[in-house]
């Protein structure tokens, strides 16, 4: 139902100039409040939302509402918005139809994955403000309250820096400091409950109104700053142009007799570095390059055999690097302190298994990259000794004769975001394969290919087949 505008009447008080100044200041603050996203579902569909579990539909309940009707669903979610959103307030009306034992209906903010977010939850006898990190719940605030089925409640959840606050029907549930989730989308959720949701609104009072980007939504709130990679030299790729598969010409050669440790930046000037290892699939081989936290490797052609390729011990940038024959893995990301690593430009040939292996945590960004004759472009480890939530962002890549674009583990909260992916001569390719991660020594179970489910985030238009 469309919300009707409220008429606000300012009281006349003594001290006209002071009163006028106060009113003008308040009005100025209101003028900068921006509605960044809103959906009242009156269009009858869930365009802009991605489902993960449950039975969701837009139904009539006085007005059109989003309903999750399966009260036995263990974890039903719908997500919307931008993964880069940071500081905002999300509000919604929520009407539980049933709440089972241990169940709730909730509003989510900063959902960085399907199992990591902040949550304001209606339980049967209370309302809780929670931080959820890979499924582990920390209660940040709580008020005792009878939550009745068939009754609408207005939930409001604010995230600003490390301050997290929630309210129900205007009454504070709590405000706390928590830094477990820095950014993420909005969402609605039921756990062993059925509920209806309506009038979902995201607002940002920190800046001007953004430009509209689509029906029912607008541009993202302020995003966290992203580390700026070193620009690639002109003509060497990795500057955002569409990959063509053209291989660079070596400017010289470097003989490698053992692992090269890099801290800071190593610019190879497009020399060919060779060789190490036996070209086989053994992961016990030494890497050719080992990058310290924050290091950059750029403008290098890696000859064959390349051993275990490149090891990133923390956050790293791999820019305009070319693997003649991958052998085992082109690069393995091992950092466990979170953060972002970047592969920008470059290319790889002949990876029987994976090009990029993600054993640590954090997010790997792959852009402007070319690969040919590979098994997988990216795989989040499904049976490493330590289990993490991992994320990959793939943009503007050309993949020839490829079996899989990415493989992720849904039970650990992994996500993949794919845009501008071109696949060529890749019959039967798996775009986003979902697995159940397992303990070391076991083999991950393939669940199927996902799309728009909160784990595999892309649409059909993001993939081009040639």
pLDDT tens per residue across span 223-274: 333 333 333 333 333 445 789 999 999 999 999 988 999 999 999 999 999 9
What is the mean predicted confidence (pLDDT) over 331-339? 93
What pLDDT is stored for residue 427 in this prediction?
86
**In the chain, where are the structural domains located?**
33-205, 253-465
For the chain, what percent of residues have pLDDT higher than 90? 68
Q: Which residue has the tokens 């929520």?
A: 94
Q: Which position has the higher pLDDT, 48 or 168?
A: 168
Nearest by Cα to 147 from 120, 118, 108, 114? 120
What pLDDT is stored for residue 31 in this prediction?
37
Q: Is the peptide bond before 305 cis (omega within 30 degrees of 0)?
A: yes
The DSSP string of 111-168 is EEETTEEEEEEE-SSEEEEEEEETTEEEEEEEEE----TT--EEEEEEEETTEEEEEE
What pLDDT is stored for residue 176 in this prediction?
94
What pLDDT is stored for residue 51 in this prediction?
84
Superfamily of domain 253-465: Single-stranded right-handed beta-helix, Pectin lyase-like (2.160.20.10)
What is the mean predicted confidence (pLDDT) over 128-153? 93
What is the mean predicted confidence (pLDDT) over 134-156? 93
Asked if the domains 33-205 and 253-465 are classified in one and the same CATH topology, the answer is no
What pLDDT is stored for residue 303 in this prediction?
94
What is the mean predicted confidence (pLDDT) over 328-354? 93
What is the mean predicted confidence (pLDDT) over 173-190? 94
Between CA 187 and CA 109 the distance in angstroms is 6
Q: What is the DSSP letter of 285?
A: S
What Å distances lie between residue 253 and 272, 302, 431, CA to CA? Answer: 5, 10, 36
Give per-residue pLDDT as tens, 182-220. 999 999 999 999 999 999 999 985 333 333 333 333 333
Collapsing DSSP states into helix, strand and coil, what is residue 26?
helix
Q: Which of 14-23, 108-117, 136-145 has the lowest mean pLDDT?
A: 14-23
pLDDT band, very low/low/confident/very high, at 34 (cuts 50, 70, 90): confident
- Produce one character per residue of 31-61: b if its CB has 16 or more CB atoms within 10 Å, e if not: eeebebbebbbeeeebebbbbbbbebebeeb
Per-chain mean pLDDT for the chain = 84
CB 110 within 8 A of CB 128: no
Between CA 145 and CA 134 the distance in angstroms is 27
What pLDDT is stored for residue 343 in this prediction?
97
What pLDDT is stored for residue 283 in this prediction?
52
**Architecture of the domain spanning 33-205:** Sandwich (2.60)
What pLDDT is stored for residue 284 in this prediction?
56
Q: Which of 18-32, 131-145, 287-301, 435-449 has the lowest mean pLDDT?
A: 18-32
What pLDDT is stored for residue 241 in this prediction?
73
User: Would you say residue 438 has pLDDT above 90?
Assistant: yes
Give per-residue pLDDT as tens, 53-77. 889 999 999 899 999 999 988 889 9
What pLDDT is stored for residue 240 in this prediction?
59
What pLDDT is stored for residue 224 in this prediction?
33
What pLDDT is stored for residue 163 in this prediction?
94
390-409 and 415-424 beta bridge pairing: parallel
What Å distances lie between residue 217 and 165, 221, 353, 363, 372, CA to CA? Answer: 23, 11, 40, 26, 38
What pLDDT is stored for residue 278 in this prediction?
58
* 465 φ/ψ angles, rounded to the nearest 5 degrees: -105, 135
């Amino acid at each position: 139902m469309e919300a009707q505008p409220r008429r606000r009447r300012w009281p006349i008080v003594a001290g006209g100039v002071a009163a006028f100044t106060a009113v003008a200041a308040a009005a100025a603050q209101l003028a900068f409040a921006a509605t960044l996203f809103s959906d009242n579902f009156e269009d009858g569909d869930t365009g802009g939302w991605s489902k993960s579990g449950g039975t969701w539909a837009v139904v009539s309940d006085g007005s059109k509402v989003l309903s999750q009707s399966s009260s036995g669903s263990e974890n039903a979610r719908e997500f919307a918005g931008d993964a880069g959103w940071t500081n905002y307030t999300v509000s919604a009306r929520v009407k539980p139809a049933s709440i089972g034992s241990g169940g709730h209906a909730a509003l989510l903010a900063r959902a960085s994955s399907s199992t990591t977010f902040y949550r304001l939850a209606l339980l049967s006898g209370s309302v809780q403000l929670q931080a959820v990190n890979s499924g582990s719940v920390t209660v940040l605030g709580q008020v005792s309250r009878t939550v009745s089925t068939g009754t609408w409640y207005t939930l409001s959840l604010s995230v600003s820096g490390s301050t997290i606050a929630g309210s129900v029907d205007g009454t504070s549930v709590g405000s706390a400091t928590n830094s477990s989730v820095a950014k993420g989308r909005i969402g609605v959720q039921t756990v062993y409950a059925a509920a209806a949701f309506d009038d979902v609104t995201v607002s940002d009072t920190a800046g001007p109104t953004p430009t509209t980007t689509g029906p029912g939504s607008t541009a993202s709130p302020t995003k966290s700053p992203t580390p700026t990679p070193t620009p690639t030299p002109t003509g060497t790729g990795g500057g955002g142009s569409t990959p063509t598969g053209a291989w660079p010409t070596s400017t010289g050669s470097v003989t490698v007799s053992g692992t090269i440790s890099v801290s800071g930046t190593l610019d190879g000037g497009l020399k060919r570095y060779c060789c190490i290892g036996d070209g086989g699939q053994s992961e016990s081989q030494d890497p050719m390059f080992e990058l310290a936290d924050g290091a950059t490797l750029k403008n290098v052609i890696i000859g064959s055999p390349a051993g275990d390729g490149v090891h990133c011990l923390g956050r790293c940038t791999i820019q305009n690097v070319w693997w003649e024959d991958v052998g085992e893995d082109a690069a393995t990301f091992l950092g466990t302190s979170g953060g972002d690593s970047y592969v920008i430009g470059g290319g790889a040939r002949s990876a029987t298994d994976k090009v990029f292996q993600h054993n640590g945590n954090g997010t790997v960004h792959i852009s402007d990259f070319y690969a040919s004759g590979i098994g997988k472009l990216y795989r989040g480890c499904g049976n490493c000794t330590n289990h993490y939530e991992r994320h990959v962002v793939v943009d503007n890549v050309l993949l020839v004769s490829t079996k899989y674009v990415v493989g992720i583990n849904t039970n650990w909260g992994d996500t993949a975001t794919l845009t501008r992916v071109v696949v060529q001569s890749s019959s039967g390719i798996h775009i986003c394969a979902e697995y159940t991660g397992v303990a070391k020594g076991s083999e991950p179970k393939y669940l199927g290919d996902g799309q728009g489910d909160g784990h595999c985030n892309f649409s059909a238009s993001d993939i081009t087949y040639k």
